[in-house]
Structure 1
Amino acid sequence: MFQLAELTQLNDCFRPLSQRGGDRVFFCRIAGYSGDVAAFLRQYYEAARRSGVIIDGRIPNPTPDNLAYFNEMMGPAFQMDRDFLSQRLGRWLPRMTDGQRDAVVTALYATLDDMRRQGKNENMLRNAYMKYMCWLYYKFERIVNVLGGEALPKILYAGDVSHYELQLLTVLSRAGADIVLLECGGDQAYLTVDPQSAASRLYQAPGLGPFPAGFGVKQLQADLEREVRRQRLYGAPPALSPCTNAWVQRPELNAALTAVQTRGSDPRFFYNLFLCQYGVEDNLTYTNDLFAFYQSLKSGGRRICVVNGDPAPPGPEEIAAVKRGNYASVEQLAAGLAANIRYPANVELQRLMTKAFLDLVLEEGERCGGSVSKLTSRAVYLLCWLNRYQKDLFPDWKAPEVAVFLQFGKCASDTGALFLRLLARLPVDVLLLLPNLNEGSALHAPDLLEVHCPQSVVLDRFPVDQNQARVTTAAYQAERDLDRLMYQDTGLYRNQQYAKASTVLLQTMYEEIPILWDQELKYRPSFSAAGDTVTLPVICQKICGVKDGNASQYWLDIKKLITPDTEVIRSVPWVQGTDPNPVKPYATQFLKNGRLLRSRIKSHSAYLYGILRAEMQEHLLDKLQLLLDQKLIRGTFENGTEYTVIATALNLSKDLLRKIQKFDFTKKNPKLIYINTTEKMISLEDSILTAFLSLVGFDVLFFVPTGYQCIEQHFARPLAGETQAGDYLYDLRVPDFNTVQEGGLHTIRKLFGRST
């Protein structure tokens, strides 16, 4: 009879009998979860599926038909005798060898004898005997003829075991089977049937916690099926594996200069570096240090690819080159897109790239909940960038060569960070240098080596050529340090400190507008700054009616709102579709698949905004894209209105461009006052301009003394909040605001009539 062994290492369960130091089996209970436990259970489930038995829940009691067949074949007799049990077992399970039958008889007799000594009568022993015989035949017949062999059969029982089930499992354990009880609900239920843990042992290890919700046999089965599907995806595996950062003796950028041949000698691995350096050691010598570092890499014969900032988004031609289809699952997506990876010059490198791509896409698929739509565009970007840069990194790659991919400056894109993680799984040293401590990073990975330096410097390009190098004086650097002290998280802001902005609309009362109107944005409610982006609280209101019906005071109140940065529209329409517009003939060339073709726009002769600050140009194009995405203008992406939106937004007047050029996101913002005293609807172009300028950061006020719905026609949903200021007045004429003053109109104007 086999003896119970203690399970200290989970993998001991898979040892053959000859390596266990005698006739020893494992009968263990697992009531706690960890990563190692999950991996063991998957392996054990597969072993039980191949040559054992899996029980999910209780073993069904023998049916009346089962018992009738047993009585027909074996008769109703029962004797508490080993020879009787052996004779009946030989007839009932004839495939068992004499040795196996003897082992089962010995174990069965011992179990029944335990019951007899506990006071069970003969009828109870007979019932147990019949139940065990039926269970052996109907549930465990596939393993009884391999009990006690060199490779012991495995039984996986998931659930709360009953008294009779535990007795039968004890029989099988004593006869030579390994058994694992999976107790996702804890060990308390088991202890009610075996308080002394005499039949089995509880597995204990540091770090065990509760099982995740839904964990069980079905999840193990699903996990294994997914693993099988994924193994089919990969095909022939690469011979090499990455050894990332493990060889690094000192965490520093100069580790990349270590000769590849001296990093390690195991031919199964390539040795690469995955490093991100925040800040600089010495801001005065940093530029020269970078150039010397670059020259050292070149002199070492390394392939180097330098990218300033996030990789440029793939162009339409690059995206079109990626063959793709419709996918129902992440696995299908990964397999379909991986077929685009081709490197015929070296099959090993192609396998490495394919495996890295598949691994990363499948990981991201789990992180985003298996959403194929979210993952497709990111995976396509990865392939486009891999195709773009592989000619620089791997022109004629041979092991153990390791190229260098150096990204200098911000890593703000999640997809860009994903691309760096992809490269880090290839024979590439991936280096991300962030000299400006004010810039964060989207790159976070467990295998990333982070180096933090105390000083900060602003550089926009990596000095690959000494002619490009810029050196700073001590005074200049001292001023930059003072900037950081004064303008970082202090509520103080230097001129043009932020390059990006998003807007939120302030919901205000009519009486609040004069208070907020000429206020710097940083003092308004809901203003915030994070990284290089600020949130601008702007006003966009439609003022209906005239307070107290007093037209003179009405015009005076409007005049008080006219600041030097205010554009006033006194007649409707402001802009019409028939007005000259140099952009209109080319608008259809500037949009593809709903996205602005920015490089084409900027390089076109009709582009008017090239004189603006570079960051302001990007801001305007960002807001134009947002206006299109929001479909705020009725008909966008339905009847060609999107091209009118583009043509109108890219044809702002000189006065507006000057206001935008001087716009500092933390100070006073430019304004637009639109007055409509008539029954006319504002034009489509006016609707586009007011919506666009509001997104850019303008305060926009519509003054409509008639209260008519004259601004809403071309908006798919309300643009401005509506405030009822007073009585509706009609046929008002907009005065020359230079003549409006306290007490009414200018005296000379009074001689010739009123504006009411």
Structure 2
Amino acid sequence: MNQLFGSPGKNKEGEATEISNGNRTVLKQSNNIFKDILSPLQERGTKYDVYFYRIIGCDDETEYLTRITSLHQELKLTDNYILFDNSIPVSTDLSVIERLRQLFKPVPLKDFSNGALANLLDSQGYFSLSSNSELNRWIRNAFDTIFNLYIANEFEINLSMAVNFGTKLLLWFGDYGKKILKKSPYNPKVIYWGSPKKHEVYYLILMSLIGCDVLVLNTTFRDELEFVDKNNEYSMLIKYSKDLPIRSFPEKAKKEVREKDLPKAIKKEPELPVDQQKPRDLINLNDPIVIVKLKRTETIFQEMLVPLKMRSGYIGHPYPILPTYFVRYIGIPVSSDDWEAEYYNSLYDLDRSLQLLGNYLKFIDGIPAPSADENSSIPSGFSSYPFKDRSEVIEQILRAEILPQFNNELFDNTIKKTFVEIVDLFAEKIKNANLSIVSNFSLKIVTWLNRYVVQLFPKASLSQNPDHNPKILFHGQIKAHEVFLLYAFHRLGCDVLFVHSEKEGDKTFQIFDKDNELTHLIQNSHNLALESFPTEERYIRKSTIAYNASKEIEEVIYGEDVGLFKPWQFENYGTQPITLKTTFDELKILWREPAKLRPEFKIQNKKVYVPNLFAKINGVSEDLNSYWQDLRNLSSAPNTKLVSGLPFTNVNYTKQELYQASYLLTDQGLLNEAKVIMSKHYKFNHLRAPLQHFLIGKINELIGSDLFVTAVDDKFKLKMIMTMLTMDDEILKLIEVFDFPQEIPKIVIYDHKKQSFSESDGIILAYFNRIGLDILVLTPTSYKTIDQYIKPCFFDLFQLPQVKFDLDMPSLADIPGASSQKPGLLSRFFHLR
């Protein structure tokens, strides 16, 4: 363990007693990585130096493979080396996987990036690999860095995706992290041959952070690392000119497979004259098999539980015909007010029912890749055998007899024919599937079939006519290879149900079965972000007949075009401000009118068009009492905030925090909603979800507007974002009470000093205007105030006769009321008094 971190001192157990104060090793540059990676720790520049290089593409393939073969042999001599060939196998121990998922279950998404998750794992002992607490803390910090990096890089992420990532990371660390943590003059070496997938990239970075040299050898230009390590902060890049397919990892330079190297199962037979050659297909078309017919239904949750014998079209022994289901259940049906709870309860109930039937497999967000032990069951010659075409791949696998066998002719024939069908279908459906890709896929399917078919079809059940065929339930994100395995299960006689709550979740099947001929698609009307598979029933409420009748009546009465509105009927809508140009007298008349009674109000395309007011009044009236009475009347309207001290906003962020907020911006310069919700400055969590979405959307509207006198550069965008994210609660409450068609919240600002508005004040007022609030600025001095920040073309300017300096505002309670009240808007129109 101590050699991993290159510690100079040891305790009595030989463990590290001194480590770096940072949470990462130092990435070292090399002029000859194939040589320098072999250097022992004592020859490094510092004891914390590591190499992490990714070599993309290839120039001279023969020379390249020779160098890699030589390096591979030398690294094996260090006895502190691990090779990942095209993938990092993950544990398939379901008990361990479930234990980890339960650990993540109560963790909210935000805890993945704020250090809380790493603290939780630390408290559970996942980083306690040594009695040295500093050493363990270094490993904990490395995990924290990876979690932060993952969350920061993901544009759209949900809790299920984060839990899947965290689970996989810990499984890999448990399998491989400890294997190479041993005493040695050399720090651990890791080679990844091929193009690592996204989660594998994060794990390789983690291995580097805890002290491993890492070398990614990828002859193709498919480099997932460039999307994860965007600034080459964690790895160095060497890129060659040619993009070559990834071949099997070379064991010897210019290795050629000879007959003596082949396992008996795939040795070539002597070439026979054409008229005496055996057919390459080892399955006779007339061999008896189980016939499977795709059965369609719109009520799969119920029909899946119907016994085979009760399904129309079923025929039993000796030559079975099985009507079975392969259904893609996409989106969520809306059957009641609690449709989300009903959906998850129906999944929970189906899962419980299928467990009682037995012969049932459930996959959540993926099927574990073949393990090292499973891969070792494949004859070694397959990985380097020079297959000529797809038919030879299939033939040699069948000759090797590595598919599941049951000593049941009918079922063994069905397995073989299903395998042939799946490989042919894969080659047909997947574009650019070269022979190497087909070969690797074929062997992967072989290992998966060996893993699962025995579970689904106990040998005892093959001699009987079981009431229920095996069941497969797949929930969540699915990859192309997994789709083909599900189809293989279906062709063997299983009912298969794929479930995803979003339309986007069906993308993989669109390639596999564009015309819905191989599967049956149930496309529901609503989408919902994917959540974890339910482990308990949810509380649900059912509507009565009277309640449903009442809702139908409301839909008629409270339509957009009727003019009668329920409270908060449009909280899921957006707003489009229509700032009115008025006279001073009109402003005073319209000031107290609700939005729905103002000119230009309308509701259209999920948006409420709000006629709002934005005006500045310079100077004062000749009759000062009249001026104060106007101020009193305007500031006493409902939901009005009167401000007499400027600036009225506080800067609640530091300069460092301002620049750190740049990660919240997308490449288009707008606010990333998923990231801002997890920001430590985000203070809207307590608000209704639609209002939170509305507030963030309005920030982006403001960023894209041209209200400001100042040019909206990146720095000003950050000021806008931080000003609005840290606004005072009293200001925020003005927005919270805004029911769009009703009373419009207002802010009245009395500004009588030379030093008045701040930049933050201007930003907040512009934000209010984009939302649709009323704004009135009274400036007795006639100085330039708000017009220093917001272009004057966006508000009305009224000039009163006199100018006053240092005119303090009296107490509103002391201002006498007006002798007569001016008629309202409707009164003027209809000549009412």
In which range does the TM-score fall when normalised by the shorter chain? 0.3 to 0.5
Tell me the TM-score normalized by structure 2.
0.40
